[in-house]
Amino acid sequence: MPLSDLAGTRRWQRRMRSAQVRIGRWLASATYTQKWLVLGTVVGIIAGLGAVVFYEALRLATYVFLQVLAGYTVPLPTSEGGRAASSSFARPWAIPLIACVGALAGAVLVFAVAPEAEGHGTDAAIAAVHHNPRGVRLRTVFVKIVASALTIGSGGSGGREGPTGQISAGFGSFLARFLDLSPSDARITVASGIGSGIGAIFGAPLGGAVLATEILYRDDFEVEALLPSFIASIVGYAVWGSFEGFGPLFGYVGNYHLTSAVQLGWFGIIGILGGLVGLLYAKSFYGMAAFFSRLTIPRWFRPAIGGLIVGCIGLAIPEVLGTGYGWIQAGLGAQLLHIPLWIVLILPFARIATTGLSIGSGGSGGIFGPGMVIGAFVGAAVWRLLEPVVPSLGHDPAPYVIVGMMACFGSISRAPLAVMLMVAEMTGTLSLIVPAMLAVGLATLIVRRNDDTIYRNQLRSRAESPAHRILTGLPLLAMVTASQAMAPARCVLVEPGDSATFLTQMEQGEVSAAPLVDPQGHYVGVVTMQALQKEAAAASGPDVEGLVDTTFAPIHESVHLDVVLETLTSTPQTWAAVIDDERRVVGTIAISDIVRNYRRTMQSNLRRVAELGGSTGISEITVTSNSPLVDVALRSTSIPRGTLITAIERGRDVIRPTGATVIKSGDRLMALGGSDDLDLLGRLASSKQ
């Protein structure tokens, strides 16, 4: 590289790092509202643009593969033109071949560049939120866009929400790395990216915002992500609508009027069938994935086999090709009567099989969209079978198709509220809420009884989340900062340098990885010995810039150890560089340093308890509303001097007590002290003296 170009690159890097420092300082000092107005807006813009780019790529791929090459026109929903499907195939021999080639091209791209882009995407995004919110590589985003467009556009049975969710999560992860967000803020940023991206591409911002909080757990909500997700979803939808329009995906479906309690029985049947079919969908999908994983052929070739079979099925049942949203549109109106009854009855099972073949084989695409098609035709099948013999059923299939979508996928995704809201927004109607509540409730009970889900990376509740478990299980970590527990850095690499020099420095420091700083001492990233040795073996030259791992999260010296431990346990790294306000490396901290400091803190507290004398113990005391401790700062209370308040539980939060901490009604105080003092504290907490 010419010296002038290299100097220009260095200047640009310095400006970027300076911007990182300034933005990071502002975020650290900003209020909650200021921080999430800014971050939520940025996430929403990126998610909305990502949804637009992927949608246009998918539309182009569908046009080229199916319309131009195969001579087949797929149907479209109302918001996309409301086009009907071709009555026949112009070149039927091309359908299996195109589906095979498209799946193969997508798989080769995935496994050659970013293997983590394999599959339906949403599960990977959920795992990133729980375990490594900074670790989604940007290359995954671009590979997911192209690979999913190739797979679905060539006829593969997949949805567009999974790719969109992973794309938005990837951009959120990059933002977390760039701004050095705390682990909790990084989780919320990635989660709100998932919800805003999916909400944008489906034109369902409210459902997308709720989905961000509900889809992470089987039986819980990530309530902290709700407000940021609202902001991101509003912005993401505004961006999406500015390019693609603001109407509901399936148009404004006619209002339904419940006139008799008897009518609820038919929706109850749909709920029961939706839950059972949802279970079949999940078990079949992962059964198919397990089957393909056992095949002794290259991973990149497996989706081609699945695509070939899907193409052959598509010759007999064209409704299995692509996203299928146009067929849902047909099911919402009189066109349903023109679809042969045997197609209506078999389509849910055919879609289950083809989605397993397309995505379970290792192809790239979503499983939300096929789940909606499956549920829609469960409802359509009930209406087609019963309408001729049950007059009270009505002559409009739309209510049953809509509730079928809600019940089937809302139950098996373990996100019933979010899916109900999303389908209501996609159909422009809220008049089916009561029948939907019954159907979705019954379907969810069936799925919960079998303890299954379509998203296997969901945790059961916040109690199983690594981050929340640390906060509730080790409250003493919140009493110590990183600067108090860190160790001196044994090796710090300085740009510019070559691989041989860095290897020598790391060998002398007896480390397998070391932080890299620029000539001004600002933190850049981490270089590992393994990467250097691999680069040296390849004899690719002395430049090490491409070997820097920027996903390693640095820790600010003022951060408390509970946040440090959360960072280290939610990422693959076991240590981190500790930086100051100027991003200069002042030390390193590892899990062993945290354990050592935690032991010292425990010993210090135990010595303090021993100094209290007498019979000592530990007690958990709940503060009632009429206690004199309520709304009083801890330093100003009449708590006995012989007691030590180690932690305060408030709702689901654990608070590290300081003298300025104000006690609230309902707080649970963790107290150490003598038995007499603990009894007195209990009386103070329960009533006025």
pLDDT at residue 400 greater than cutoff 80: yes
Please answer whether residues 118 and 163 qualify as being in contact, where contact means their C-beta atoms are separated by less than 8 angstroms.
no
pTM of the model: 0.76
Please answer whether residues 379 and 360 qualify as being in contact, where contact means their C-beta atoms are separated by less than 8 angstroms.
no
Please answer whether residues 439 and 268 qualify as being in contact, where contact means their C-beta atoms are separated by less than 8 angstroms.
yes
| Domain 474-595: top CATH class | alpha beta
Please answer whether residues 514 and 493 qualify as being in contact, where contact means their C-beta atoms are separated by less than 8 angstroms.
yes
| Domain 31-248+258-462: top CATH class | mainly alpha
Q: Give the whole-angstrom CA distance, residue 677 versus residue 409.
A: 56
Please answer whether residues 517 and 523 qualify as being in contact, where contact means their C-beta atoms are separated by less than 8 angstroms.
yes
pLDDT of 595: 74
Kindly state the DSSP code that residue 64 receives in the 8-state scheme: I
Q: Give the whole-angstrom CA distance, residue 227 versus residue 209.
A: 8
Write phi, then psi, for 616 (nearest 5 degrees): -105, 160
Strand pairing class (575-579; 555-556): parallel
Query: Where do runs of H (alpha helix) occur along 325-477?
Result: 325-331, 341-355, 368-386, 398-412, 416-427, 433-450, 466-473
Which listed CATH number (1.25.40.10, 3.30.70.1450, 3.30.360.10, 3.40.1160.10) goes with 613-686? 3.30.70.1450
pLDDT band at 57 (very low <50, low <70, confident <90, very high): very high
pLDDT band at 671 (very low <50, low <70, confident <90, very high): confident
pLDDT of 683: 82
Give the pLDDT mean for 28-47.
89
Which tens digit of pLDDT belongs to each residue from 503-527? 888 888 888 888 888 887 888 888 8
How far, in whole angstroms, is CA 99 from its chain's centroid?
29
Give the pLDDT mean for 552-560.
79
* Nearest Cα residue to 238 out of 285, 268, 267, 203: 203
Q: Give the whole-angstrom CA distance, residue 49 versus residue 54.
A: 9
Three-state SS for 339? coil
Strand partners of residue 119: 364
Burial degree of 417 (CB within 10 A; 0-12, 13-18, 19+): middle
pLDDT of 470: 56
Strand pairing class (653-655; 513-517): unpaired
Give the pLDDT mean for 606-634.
71
Which tens digit of pLDDT belongs to each residue from 571-588? 666 788 888 877 888 888
Give the pLDDT mean for 113-130.
84
pLDDT of 1: 46
Instruction: Give the relative orientation of helices 32-62 and 138-153 as an angle to the nearest 10 degrees.
Output: 40
Enumerate the domain spans of the chain.
1-30, 31-248+258-462, 474-595, 613-686
pLDDT band at 346 (very low <50, low <70, confident <90, very high): very high
Which tens digit of pLDDT belongs to each residue from 124-133? 889 888 877 8
Strand pairing class (575-579; 513-517): unpaired
Q: Which two tokens stand for residue 498?
A: 């070559």
> In the chain, what is the straight-line distance between the N-terminal and C-terminal CA atoms, in Å?
79
Which tens digit of pLDDT belongs to each residue from 185-208? 888 999 999 999 999 999 999 999
464 vs 78, which has greater pLDDT?
78
Q: Give the whole-angstrom CA distance, residue 600 versus residue 606.
A: 10
pLDDT of 26: 78
